[in-house]
Structure 1
Amino acid sequence: MPPLLAFIPLLPLIGFVVLSFFGRQMPKRAVAILGAGTICIAAILTIILGLSFLQTPPAGGAYDQLLWSWFSIGNLSVDIGLRADALTLVFIFIITFVGALIHIYSAFFMWHDDDYARFFASMNLFVCSMLLLVMADNLVLMYLGWEGVGLCSYLLIGFWYEVPSNCRAAIKAFLITRIGDTALLIGLFLLFKELGTLNISAILHLAPDHFTTGGSNIVLITILLLVGGMGKSAQLPLQTWLPDAMAGPSPVSALIHAATMVTAGVYLIARMHVLFQLSPVTMMIVAIIGALTLFVAGCSALAQTDIKRILAYSTISQIGYMFLALGVGAWSAAIFHFFTHAFFKALLFLAAGVIIEALHHEHNIFMMGGLRKRMPVVFVTFLAGAVALSALPLVSAGFFSKDAILWYSWSAANGNPLLWVMAMAGAFITALYTTRLMLVVFWGDVRTPVHEHPAQGMVIPLIVLAFLSITAGFIEWPHNMVHLSLFSDLVQKVLPETVLKPDLPSEWLFQLMAVFVTLAGIYLGYLLYYGKPGIRWQRSPGLSGMRDLLFSGFKFDQLYNFLFVKPFVFITRINKSDVIDRLYNGIAQAALKLNSWFAISQNGSLRLYIVGVLAGILFIITLQILL
């Protein structure tokens, strides 16, 4: 079975190479078959690998495959090696399976685009990079995949580069994530300095004996790793790039900025959980960042009018839940929410893409309305994603995964009442803005007529994802309801069990409270938005300041512009004529002066040219006589 590992990232890599060199000469149908087909085959291989893992677990709990030695410098030796354990299998299943559905959808969604081959080449490169990130057996190879997905995010956010705002959004994402990437790289240097290796298994084995719990070295290293994860996963305060990343095509938003790349920080912390457990301070910081992010992003989603920006802030908020779970030590709960979130958030983005295309590229939800009867399939599938996002009790996957995080935010050893209150507030806000989104888009009067209906190839992925958004949660029920924990039993082979506080109140009480909060958010959304297209209360002058604050994402962009951008521009303007510039300008001016002198001899006068030739001849003869 290990030889199968290499083919999973190799197939999308082959697709990228072929499409990069020959895509423009290939017919669109061939591009679609190659681009989507390689991902579909990789998904099939992943399912085969997963079934084999479940039926006959490998020795050591993981499949390993060493391909070749990459480089060796001094004490650092890095291999191209792949490793697949239970945690890896969860991620590669989402990357390939959800990625295959999105590629199939993209084949129809992007059909009329002139750069059809470039789109699929970039998407295939992304899948290959993301697979390397989660399958690498060492942190150097993981970092290669980490940078690869960042590159592809930049390429695909600015895919329609003719629009200047798209280019600015791509540059913004690239620069902000560089902050996290730089911190991560420094953390890797420090890890190698301390342990003498960057092999993941070796690090997890050596760290408990090498580091002292709470020591300054391990705290610094884990904080640097955390900053790396915050950048990629758009967590406070590095979250501002993700809403602008919606400038890319909707399939990009679904795959990269909802289901996979933005959860790379979750994978990093979960994979290096042994290090984080040695730093309780960092664990608490992770939990606090997650709690603040889920609340701030949820509030921001309440005021957005662009359908994709609502989902973008929702993604930031839901990843905040994952960070909260990681911070309190609920490792399996965090990964389970990643698992369910990938289905329902990819579904919502793809369905939003269908709506936008059907309504003449309209993004404003208040210019939509009445789509329930005109696009019934999209309505039903979007509703499935919405109930999962809202965590509607017992009938959605989101309920089972989010309920576990709410419970552990109180009951885990690192949990506390304040974190639980923030998580509950986030659940209420999520239900509220999701209800707002559904009612404004699908109920009320028609404001923009439907221009075209989606192709069948776009509908099938929606139906599959809608089914999974409802049913995927049933593999992991709360233990006080039904003893069914297939997901936890698998993941906890890699990640430790969560330690609960002693003498806790009944879990039933907390589950009922979570259900009540969710239903209260849905009911409030119904009261505020059902049958009220004008939404008069939103136009209240007393609420305008709060609305503007939420709409701007708590003005983080303005803050960073004031603190960093303006001072930087001011300094560069002062320094634009420094010594180096003067040197270069002097060389250029000297060249221009010499040119003006020599240009005198090229004035077009034949008599002057003859005089010059004669003068030259006389000069040469004179030299010969004298010498």
Structure 2
Amino acid sequence: MAGAAWLLLVLPAAGAAVLLLGGRRTDKWGHLLGSATVIAAFVYGVLLFFDTTGQGTEDRLRDLHLFDWIPVNALDVEFGLRLDPLSVTFVLLITGVGSLIHIYSIGYMSHELRDRRRFFAYLNLFVAAMLLLVLGNSFVTLYFGWEGVGLASYLLIGWYQGKDFAATAAKKAFLMNRVGDVGLALAIFLMFKNIGSTQYDVVFDKIGQQSTGVIVAIGVLLLLGACGKSGQFPLQAWLPDAMAGPTPVSALIHAATMVTAGVYLIARSSPLYSLAQAGDARLVVMIIGAITLLLGCIIGCAYDDFKKVLAYSTVSQIGYMILAVGLGPAGYALGILHLLTHGFFKAGLFLGAGSVMHGMNDEGDIRRLGGLARKMPITFITWTLGYLALIGFPFLSGYFSKDAIIEAALAEGGTRGWIFGGIALLGAGLTAFYMTRLLILVFLGKPRWENLKSADGRSYHPHESGPTMTIPMIILAVGSVAAGGVLSGMLPEWLEPAVGKLQEEHGPLSATVVSVLTVVISALGAGIAFLLFGRGEQPVTRPQRVSFPVRAARADLYGNHLNEALISRPGVWLTRFLVFVDNRGVDGLVNGIAAGLGGSSGRLRRLQTGFVRSYALSMLGGSILVIAALLMVRFA
């Protein structure tokens, strides 16, 4: 079974190739082929999962060599696949949720028949690149998939090419990810320089022999790469703008593919981060996760764009995962657990948002919605279940994964434990607040759209989506309810060969106390939201006279300004300086030499008169000078 694992890559990649090269001839059936290839990959992934579970603990880690890729002197990179519980888990997430999103897209993109097959080709390319990222058995292969994901995201975020905001969002995502990619590339260079290989087995076997400085440097640079792909501070500003693409793209990016890549990278590098010498790097990972989860929660409280609130929710939830994997052996499995449960409820929430926008003339301003629970009952029920799972409602998926992370953070002990645990608890309360606000303004209360018109002048006639959209939402809602309880018991043991044994540490508060405290804080956040937005009429336009914290949150806590100050402006200044050096220095030197030679040759040319008597006189004069010089030397 494992010998044909390359089919996982070939199926979606072949689908993308056929749809892109086939052109208009594939318009009628392109969406069916695109969906079928990912579904087939999922079926094979399930078979591979059962084949892996039948192996012993040691046999669950297998490398499949395909061919020699880069055999250049000391650099010998093979193109191979690593089949272990971590990669197989991600395969099931990517292809499973990806299949549902493909099916959903058939209905969502039904009005774009002209370009629909190209859309599915890009989705297939996205899935294939992400599968390569998680299945590669070296950091170079991972980097290949890493860049493929960046390309596919650029194509999909900028799908509406005729709209300036979409083109800008695509470029922003692409360029900001390049900043993080520099960190990953430098980490790979350091590995090769100090270890002589980029293969996982060699790197992880020899990394403990390196100096503390090298280990910490590699760990921090890997984190920089993770910050770019997973939208973590300070490279989080591209992720909300990525909502410019169609809603299925948002669901695929936020739930199953791109933003999970950073968490995978750190979990895959667990042998490095688990070293005692990597303590400082692990602390930086935790700090970045804590800052990001709090930042995403605060900004999510102030936005009125349906998908952008969910986008900042993703920023926050990925922050929880990064915090978890930063805990080391006490958190790797917990971070992956939250990633899987998040894949269910966040995909469901985004598809629910797409269903609302599909039935409301693409309206995304939550202040212009309201009262949609009666008009779209299936969307309302499935979205509400995802909402409850996200805020950690008892015994739903988020309850099992997020509470475990909070408990593990508190178990760090001392001041560090209280700081990280306290931030995680505060994030739970803020999450409940902004998600409850979203629920109220979109689905509950009185309709605020009845006397309004959409941007294109049409009246609103909300309606439930068709089966191709609602069935995936229902399946994801079931996962939002049950996945946490099912996975929490089996996942740590299943992942043990890849990330090590889960080290359960007991903190100052018992698991029961942490659970009760989290539920109380979440209930408090939800209650405040009901008091503020559940009573009375809500304005159709957002208030302009607001406090400074609200203005700062609406401005993304000045994340764009920070990126401009730290990255963009220094880059512009460096470019201008290099252009000046090139123009005045390099070009000046080259042009100066050329001008000097040209001027000298012009002056020498004037000596060539063409008269024999002039040349004879010159020869005579030269001869006299030579004879005079010889006589002076002779009688000196």
Give the TM-score category using the shorter length: 0.7 to 0.9
Single out whichever of 553-562 and 566-575 deviates more from structure 2.
566-575
Structure 1 residues 476 and 563: alpha-carbon distance in aligned structure 2, compared to 1, 3 A threshold: closer
Is 2:465 the counterpart of 1:454? yes
Aligned alpha-carbon RMSD (Å):
2.3
- How big is the shift at 1:77? 1.0
Residue 300 of structure 1: aligned partner = 299
Single out whichever of 97-106 and 111-120 deviates more from structure 2.
111-120
Residue 339 of structure 1: aligned partner = 340
Offset from partner CA, 1:76-116 (integer Å, 9 cap, x none): 11111111111111111000000000001111111222321
Structure 1 residues 536 and 149: alpha-carbon distance in aligned structure 2, compared to 1, 3 A threshold: closer
Distance of 1:71 and 1:506 partners within structure 2: 52
Distance of 1:6 and 1:400 partners within structure 2: 34
Distance of 1:537 and 1:410 partners within structure 2: 41
Distance of 1:540 and 1:178 partners within structure 2: 36
Letter in 1 for 2:54: Q
Distance of 1:401 and 1:375 partners within structure 2: 30
Is 2:492 the counterpart of 1:493? no
Distance of 1:496 and 1:152 partners within structure 2: 33
Is 2:428 the counterpart of 1:427? yes
Letter in 2 for 1:108: G
1:512-531 → structure 2 map (5 Å cutoff): 512-531=516-535
Is 2:263 the counterpart of 1:252? no
Unaligned runs of 5+ in 1: 478-484, 588-627
Q: TM-score, normalised by structure 2?
A: 0.86
Distance of 1:502 and 1:58 partners within structure 2: 27
- How big is the shift at 1:277? 2.0
1:95-244 → structure 2 map (5 Å cutoff): 95-113=94-112, 114-208=114-208, 210-212=209-211, 215-244=212-241
Residue 264 of structure 2: aligned partner = 267
Residue 402 of structure 2: aligned partner = 402
- How big is the shift at 1:346? 0.6
Letter in 1 for 2:260: T
What is the SS of the residue equivalent to 1:555?
A: helix
2:561 is aligned, of 558, 563, 566, to 558
Cα contact 1:226–1:269 (8 A) shared by 2: yes
What is the SS of the residue equivalent to 1:370?
A: coil
Structure 1 residues 527 and 540: alpha-carbon distance in aligned structure 2, compared to 1, 3 A threshold: farther
1:474 is aligned, of 479, 485, 508, to 485
- How big is the shift at 1:491? 1.2
Residue 318 of structure 1: aligned partner = 317
Distance of 1:21 and 1:488 partners within structure 2: 43
What is the SS of the residue equivalent to 2:76?
A: strand
Cα contact 1:528–1:535 (8 A) shared by 2: no
Structure 1 residues 515 and 38: alpha-carbon distance in aligned structure 2, compared to 1, 3 A threshold: same
Cα contact 2:267–2:499 (8 A) shared by 1: yes
Single out whichever of 233-242 and 17-26 deviates more from structure 2.
17-26
Residue 392 of structure 1: aligned partner = 393
Letter in 2 for 1:422: I
Is 2:474 the counterpart of 1:463? yes
Structure 1 residues 411 and 18: alpha-carbon distance in aligned structure 2, compared to 1, 3 A threshold: same
Residue 65 of structure 1: aligned partner = 64
Structure 1 residues 450 and 62: alpha-carbon distance in aligned structure 2, compared to 1, 3 A threshold: farther
- How big is the shift at 1:165? 1.2
- How big is the shift at 1:33? 1.3
Unaligned runs of 5+ in 2: 450-459, 592-636
- How big is the shift at 1:490? 0.6
Distance of 2:507 and 2:138 partners within structure 1: 41
Offset from partner CA, 1:333-381 (integer Å, 9 cap, x none): 0000000000100111111011111111111001000101000000000
Structure 1 residues 502 and 567: alpha-carbon distance in aligned structure 2, compared to 1, 3 A threshold: closer
- How big is the shift at 1:557? 0.9
Distance of 1:579 and 1:88 partners within structure 2: 47
- How big is the shift at 1:533? 3.7
- How big is the shift at 1:180? 0.7
Letter in 2 for 1:346: A
Distance of 1:237 and 1:194 partners within structure 2: 29
Letter in 2 for 1:250: T
What is the SS of the residue equivalent to 1:315?
A: helix
- How big is the shift at 1:532? 3.3
Letter in 1 for 2:514: F
Cα contact 2:45–2:91 (8 A) shared by 1: yes
Letter in 2 for 1:101: L
Letter in 2 for 1:231: G
Letter in 1 for 2:253: I
Residue 624 of structure 1: aligned partner = none
- How big is the shift at 1:56? 3.3
Structure 1 residues 74 and 413: alpha-carbon distance in aligned structure 2, compared to 1, 3 A threshold: farther
Letter in 1 for 2:295: V
Letter in 1 for 2:423: M
Identity %: 38
Is 2:515 the counterpart of 1:511? yes
Cα contact 2:254–2:347 (8 A) shared by 1: no
Distance of 1:535 and 1:420 partners within structure 2: 37
- How big is the shift at 1:139? 1.1
Structure 1 residues 155 and 27: alpha-carbon distance in aligned structure 2, compared to 1, 3 A threshold: closer
Offset from partner CA, 1:262-301 (integer Å, 9 cap, x none): 0101000000011112210011111111011000110000
What is the SS of the residue equivalent to 1:127?
A: helix
Distance of 1:413 and 1:124 partners within structure 2: 45
1:73-112 → structure 2 map (5 Å cutoff): 73-112=72-111
Single out whichever of 419-428 and 530-539 deviates more from structure 2.
530-539
- How big is the shift at 1:510? 1.5
Is 2:41 the counterpart of 1:42? yes
What is the SS of the residue equivalent to 2:304?
A: coil
- How big is the shift at 1:51? 1.4
Letter in 2 for 1:552: A
Residue 626 of structure 2: aligned partner = none
Cα contact 2:127–2:257 (8 A) shared by 1: no
Offset from partner CA, 1:208-240 (integer Å, 9 cap, x none): 2x124xx11111111111101111111000101
Structure 1 residues 503 and 298: alpha-carbon distance in aligned structure 2, compared to 1, 3 A threshold: closer
Structure 1 residues 283 and 576: alpha-carbon distance in aligned structure 2, compared to 1, 3 A threshold: closer
Letter in 2 for 1:388: A
Residue 455 of structure 2: aligned partner = none
Structure 1 residues 580 and 466: alpha-carbon distance in aligned structure 2, compared to 1, 3 A threshold: same
The count of aligned residue pairs is: 573
Distance of 2:219 and 2:263 partners within structure 1: 13
Single out whichever of 33-42 and 413-422 deviates more from structure 2.
413-422
